[in-house]
Amino acid sequence: MVKRTSRDIRTANRYEVLRQIIAESPTSRQELAAATGLSLATVATLVGELLDLRMLTEVGFEDSAGGRPRGLVAVNAAGGALIGVDIAETYVRAELFDLGLNVLARAAEHMRPGESRPEQVVGHVTTAVGSVVAQAGIEGARVLGVGVSVPGQVDRVTGVAEYAPNWDWHDVPLLDLLTEHIAYPLHLDNPLRACAVAELWFGAARGHANAVVVNLGTGVGAGLVIGGGVHRGVSNSAGEWGHTTLVLDGRLCHCGNHGCVETYVGAPGIMLNLRELDPGGALLHPEDQTATVDALARGVAAGDPVAVKVVRDTARYLGAGISDLVNLLNPEIVVLSSWVAATLGEPLVAEVREAVARHALKRPLAATEIVLSPIPGDPVCLGAATFALEGALSSVTQRSSAARRGAPVPLKPV
Amino acid sequence: MVKRTSRDIRTANRYEVLRQIIAESPTSRQELAAATGLSLATVATLVGELLDLRMLTEVGFEDSAGGRPRGLVAVNAAGGALIGVDIAETYVRAELFDLGLNVLARAAEHMRPGESRPEQVVGHVTTAVGSVVAQAGIEGARVLGVGVSVPGQVDRVTGVAEYAPNWDWHDVPLLDLLTEHIAYPLHLDNPLRACAVAELWFGAARGHANAVVVNLGTGVGAGLVIGGGVHRGVSNSAGEWGHTTLVLDGRLCHCGNHGCVETYVGAPGIMLNLRELDPGGALLHPEDQTATVDALARGVAAGDPVAVKVVRDTARYLGAGISDLVNLLNPEIVVLSSWVAATLGEPLVAEVREAVARHALKRPLAATEIVLSPIPGDPVCLGAATFALEGALSSVTQRSSAARRGAPVPLKPV
DNA sequence: GGGGTTAGGAAAGGGGCTGAAGAAAGTCCC
DNA sequence: GGGACTTTCTTCAGCCCCTTTCCTAACCCC
């Protein structure tokens, strides 16, 4: 059974306040209290804590209606840096963010098909992290943490990559390997949850207690936000929606089953949809998912009937799958995320909305909206960095009032 | 955003302690502390509260290893009564429970196909409730509450039956109608969540933070237990799993879609599975779901190949659907509940386990067990009564220590 | 330079949980 | 029979959390 303590309330409120400030920076304590529903006193102490941590700064005043001006606080961009690493099948990407979650530096490492040994991947991660730190010219001590997204199933407590289908990893002690090379606090999880956390903090799911973040990339999955937090399940593998059966005895999936959602709406699935419709067409770039999806997006924009049809077909599959999620989970919002969704954009979402409207039950449907992720850039890196941010916020301990008032509190040592 | 307060912690702990006592009655405070992970002091105050409420009694002592004997507490069966009402398409059933959740009285009202007006249903509920109270010879004041399960979508705050597919009800203010005739505290929800709560308190999901209770009756649904509580979704309609698409363009469902899970594993779906396999067979009782499912169960027990095949086919569909739930939610346990599951029993579960093992991903599968509901009798009535129990426990307010020590606290007035 | 007004800090209060101390109620042994 | 020991259970102090209330700070206007 989950054990909840009053500290969890504090942590959740800390998250909530910081989230609000990042979204609307600068802002006043008054506004924060109104937005979060907390009392002014609580907001003030939380803001005080964050000021002590150097995560916020006071940035002047705002006129009030005649009385004392409101003090404004803003994210202290220079107060620390967060690094998000996105390990994918063919690349490792790292981004370094300031505390406003603006990208200060990027690095990408290409991985050749053969490079699948853990040490090789760890090497690339180390290089990428080193690169962004160097580029940004940040002192090491200011890096509050590194979040790492690794595909597959991850045990976030022990940091073991239990299973990564791309490379057939089994129980690789990734955290231990990374710790040998990276001195910052590390946080591991998978891209599904990274995207979910990114939407929850900075994207369309902000302020929603129940949301589904559908991930459309090469693989497909769903990050589940339930009760204001990411649902992880008992062994941290919740959200494996890509291998939901959509078509009994349908297309063969690499998972061994037939008819998985992924085989119809993942990038390779979309290519197959296209190939079935127009085998020798110009839109298809065999062996290049990105180019094909790009071509489809351009085709739809140009009114190419083949492209329109392929997107519509894909949306139908997707709509059927999403309807199931809507019926089952009754979320407030469904967010379409990841590169395929970003590339195909609104035309896809519009078709999906229609398809869901046809399939889903009326009541849950009425409570749900379906939107495109508003996050620019790589949501996985952002989400991974958010893991680091959450980590930094959870480890805040009670400070003596002497420390709170007087001497600067040193940043979390590496 | 959900707002959590320290009171929620208290309520959750109260639930947990009472749950434990009901499961293992009599028991000692020591054991409770060990089982719940709470400190002895907290357990003692919670037990004290429940004693004051007359929900528990002290029932003697147990030898300790040499020192002072442990005081034993047990559910005070006479401390109050709970009523659970199961409104279904063709009947209204009411059961009256003591606080140990033992059935003291039952009543059932048959409803003819035409009887679908809210007033008629309310009339049957009123009669049934009156009947169980009379049978049990309980004074009205001891009834702590009445839980009512009504099919479809319910707003449990306003008590409006937003949509009941059986009778095409739309926004029927059921709670208001019932309040006119029934003076006890009323709690409304739907059968899915009733079964889930029943399993969570008294069944196979006890002690699990993440569980799925699959409901196999005429209709099909899934009660989701997430984070130790029932997940309701934003408009209290989560769990509508029966209309998940299992077969694209499959059987026509009354919801208007094709290929819904319900059309394959609900009782009418099973009858169809049977009819397709063996059109004129002896097992089929047209127009009688119960008789057909009973016949199937007997057939399987007797080794009838047709029955075995039908159950296997049904289990395959069910297994595919459950695999999706396992992948998506990563629960600790999946419980098969409701009359179809109870009737077909272990043979069905065994086949389902096999089917799920074939479909689900290895990692979530490894963390999940699939079991039959151990609850005897009607889980919907039990769950509905549990709503009333939860209601009675949540409305506990702080008592002055004078009251705690001295004068008996009157039971919740009707 | 006073009133009026609004912001924000400090203190008190209430709810929760825990750990330690002490009272209560046994056993054991002389 | 009476101490010594053990174990249970209650009570109390302590800490965390949030909120309400009171009071000071800061600014506007006259």
The tens digit of pLDDT for each residue in B27-61 reads 999 999 999 999 999 999 999 999 999 999 999 99
Rounded Cα distance between A98 and B224, Å, is 39
Contact status, residue A164 vs residue A151, Cβ threshold 8 Å: yes
Among A146-150, A172-176, B142-146, B406-410, which is the least confidently predicted range?
A: B406-410
Show which positions of strand D are touched by protein (CB under 7 A). Answer: 5-12, 15-21, 25-29
Among A261-275, A346-360, B274-288, which is the least confidently predicted range?
A: B274-288
What percent of chain B has a predicted confidence (pLDDT) above 70? Answer: 95
Give the pLDDT score at A65: 81
Task: Identify the sign of the CA torsion B339, B340, B344, B347.
Answer: negative
Give the pLDDT score at A401: 36
Q: Is A236 on the interface with B (CB under 8 A)?
A: yes
Give the pLDDT score at B406: 37
Rounded Cα distance between B184 and B105, Å, is 17
Give the pLDDT score at A384: 98
Contact status, residue A241 vs residue A220, Cβ threshold 8 Å: yes
Domain boundaries, chain A: 6-75, 79-194+378-404, 204-372
Q: Is the pLDDT of residue B194 over 70?
A: yes
Q: Is the pLDDT of residue A329 over 50?
A: yes
Confidence of residue B140 (pLDDT cuts 50, 70, 90): confident
A245-255: pLDDT as tens digits: 888 788 999 88
Contact status, residue B393 vs residue B387, Cβ threshold 8 Å: no
Task: Report how far apart, in Å, the C-alpha atoms of A158 and of each of A178, A301, A349 are.
Answer: 13, 47, 38
**Selected residue with higher pLDDT from B330 and B116:** B330
Total count of residues recorded for chain B:
414
Q: Do the strands B143-149 and B81-87 form a parallel or antiparallel pair, or are they unpaired?
A: parallel
Rounded Cα distance between A26 and A23, Å, is 9
Give the pLDDT score at B281: 80
Of A2, A240, A330, the CB nearest to B364: A240
- Taking CB atoms and an 8 Å limit, are B235 and A330 in contact across chains? yes
Can you read off the two tokens belonging to residue A197? 């956390």
B153-183: pLDDT as tens digits: 899 889 999 888 878 899 999 999 999 999 9
Q: Is the pLDDT of residue A409 over 60?
A: no
Give the pLDDT score at A191: 94
Distance B200 CA to C15 C1' (A): 27
Give the pLDDT score at A167: 86
Rounded Cα distance between B26 and B77, Å, is 12
Give the pLDDT score at A262: 94
Q: Is B357 on the interface with A (CB under 8 A)?
A: no
Can you read off the two tokens belonging to residue A27? 């802002």
Helix A289-302 vs helix A305-329: crossing angle, to nearest 10: 110
Give the pLDDT score at B405: 37
CA B313 to chain centre: 27
| Residue of chain B minimizing CA distance to A225 | B233
Q: What is the mean pLDDT of residues A376-393?
A: 95
From the list B133, B152, B11, B6, the residue with the least C-alpha distance to B89 is: B152
Give the CB-side neighbour count of residue B46, counting CA atoms within 13 A.
Answer: 28
Task: Identify the sign of the CA torsion B326, B329, B331, B335.
Answer: negative
Q: What is the mean pLDDT of residues B186-197?
A: 96
Distance from CA of B276 to the nearest CA of A (A): 18
**What is the residue whose two structure tokens read 């998506």?**
B328
Q: Is the pLDDT of residue A140 over 80?
A: no
- Taking CB atoms and an 8 Å limit, are B234 and A209 in contact across chains? yes
3-state secondary structure of A56: strand
Give the pLDDT score at B413: 32
What percent of chain A has a predicted confidence (pLDDT) above 70? Answer: 95
DSSP state of B57: E
Q: What is the mean pLDDT of residues B64-69?
A: 85
Distance from CA of B128 to the nearest CA of A (A): 30
Kind plus residue range of the DSSP H or E element containing B248: none
Q: Is the pLDDT of residue B401 over 70?
A: no
Give the CB-side neighbour count of residue B246, counting CA atoms within 13 A.
Answer: 27
Of A5, A240, A325, the CB nearest to B361: A240
Residue A42: CB less than 7 A from any atom in strand D: yes
Give the pLDDT score at A395: 76
The CATH class for the domain spanning A204-372 reads alpha beta
Q: What is the mean pLDDT of residues B367-392?
A: 96
Other residues' Cβ atoms within 10 Å of the Cβ of residue B313 = 18
Which stretches of A2-149 are DSSP H helices?
6-23, 29-36, 40-52, 118-136
Can you read off the two tokens belonging to residue A311? 């997107």
In CATH, the number for domain B6-75 is: 1.10.10.10
3-state secondary structure of B40: helix
**What is the residue whose two structure tokens read 């599968």?**
B365
Q: Is the pLDDT of residue A404 over 80?
A: no
Give the pLDDT score at B409: 34
- Taking CB atoms and an 8 Å limit, are A2 and B255 in contact across chains? no
Q: Is the pLDDT of residue A400 over 50?
A: no
Q: Is the pLDDT of residue A208 over 70?
A: yes
Residue A27 pairs in a beta bridge with A73
Distance from CA of A134 to the nearest CA of B (A): 39
Give the pLDDT score at B329: 97
Kind plus residue range of the DSSP H or E element containing B339: helix B339-359
**What is the residue whose two structure tokens read 């009256």?**
B96
What integer best gives the mean pLDDT of chain B?
Answer: 91
- The answer to pTM > 0.85 is yes
* Identical fold, B6-75 and B204-372: no
Confidence of residue B64 (pLDDT cuts 50, 70, 90): confident
Distance from CA of A395 to the nearest CA of B (A): 20
From the list B276, B277, B296, the residue with the least C-alpha distance to B285 is: B296
Q: Is the pLDDT of residue B402 over 80?
A: no
Contacts of B3 in chain A (CB under 8 A): 37
Q: Is the pLDDT of residue A288 over 50?
A: yes
Confidence of residue B344 (pLDDT cuts 50, 70, 90): very high
Provide CB contacts within 8 A for B168, sequence distance 6+.
B116
Rounded Cα distance between A99 and A22, Å, is 8
Task: Identify the sign of the CA torsion A13, A14, A15, A21.
Answer: positive
A340-362: pLDDT as tens digits: 999 999 999 999 999 999 999 98
Confidence of residue B412 (pLDDT cuts 50, 70, 90): very low
Rounded Cα distance between B92 and B126, Å, is 10
Rounded Cα distance between A57 and A52, Å, is 9
Q: Is the pLDDT of residue A281 over 90?
A: no
Strand C and chain A: which residues 60-119 have CB closer than 7 Å?
64-71
Q: Is the pLDDT of residue B85 over 70?
A: yes
| Residue of chain A minimizing CA distance to B208 | A1
Helix A305-329 vs helix A339-359: crossing angle, to nearest 10: 70
Task: Report how far apart, in Å, the C-alpha atoms of B68 and of each of A115, B62, B64 are.
Answer: 67, 9, 6
Residue A40: CB less than 7 A from any atom in strand C: yes
Of B162, B243, B330, the CB nearest to A235: B330
**Selected residue with higher pLDDT from B13 and A399:** B13
Rounded Cα distance between B78 and B61, Å, is 20
Give the pLDDT score at A56: 96
CA A407 to chain centre: 36
DSSP string over A233-302: TTTT-TT--TTSBSSTT-SB-TTS-BSBTHHHHSHHHHHHHHHHH-TT-SS--TT-HHHHHHHHHHHHHH
**What is the residue whose two structure tokens read 């204001």?**
A228
Give the pLDDT score at A397: 57
- Taking CB atoms and an 8 Å limit, are B331 and A162 in contact across chains? no
From the list A349, A393, A394, the residue with the least C-alpha distance to A370 is: A349
Give the pLDDT score at A1: 66
Can you read off the two tokens belonging to residue B136? 């049990």
Contact status, residue B169 vs residue B198, Cβ threshold 8 Å: no
Give the pLDDT score at A406: 36
Contact status, residue A410 vs residue A142, Cβ threshold 8 Å: no
Phi/psi at B194 (5° precision): -60, -50
Of A163, A231, A320, the CB nearest to B226: A231
3-state secondary structure of A113: coil
Contacts of A323 in chain B (CB under 8 A): 245
Give the pLDDT score at A298: 96
DSSP string over A324-385: HHHHHH--SEEEEESHHHHHHHHHHHHHHHHHHHHHS-HHHHHT-EEEE----S-HHHHHHH
Among A73-77, A253-257, B268-272, B344-348, which is the least confidently predicted range?
A: A253-257
Q: Is the pLDDT of residue A58 over 80?
A: yes
Confidence of residue A171 (pLDDT cuts 50, 70, 90): very high
Strand C and chain B: which residues 24-43 have CB closer than 7 Å?
37-42
Can you read off the two tokens belonging to residue B282? 């002896």
From the list B247, B246, B208, B242, the residue with the least C-alpha distance to B228 is: B208
Contact status, residue B251 vs residue B258, Cβ threshold 8 Å: yes
Contact status, residue B248 vs residue A320, Cβ threshold 8 Å: yes
In CATH, the number for domain A79-194+378-404 is: 3.30.420.40
Give the pLDDT score at B266: 95
SS3 assignment for B262-319: HHHHCHHHHHHHHHHHCCCCCCCCCCCHHHHHHHHHHHHHHCCHHHHHHHHHHHHHHH
Inter-residue long-range contacts of B112-120, CB under 8 Å, 24+ positions, other chains counted: B116/B166, B116/B167, B116/B168, B116/B169, B118/B161, B118/B169, B118/B172, B118/B174, B118/B177, B119/B177
- Taking CB atoms and an 8 Å limit, are A224 and B257 in contact across chains? no
Provide CB contacts within 8 A for A41, sequence distance 6+.
none
Distance A50 CA to C15 C1' (A): 26
Contact status, residue A147 vs residue A85, Cβ threshold 8 Å: yes
Confidence of residue A363 (pLDDT cuts 50, 70, 90): confident
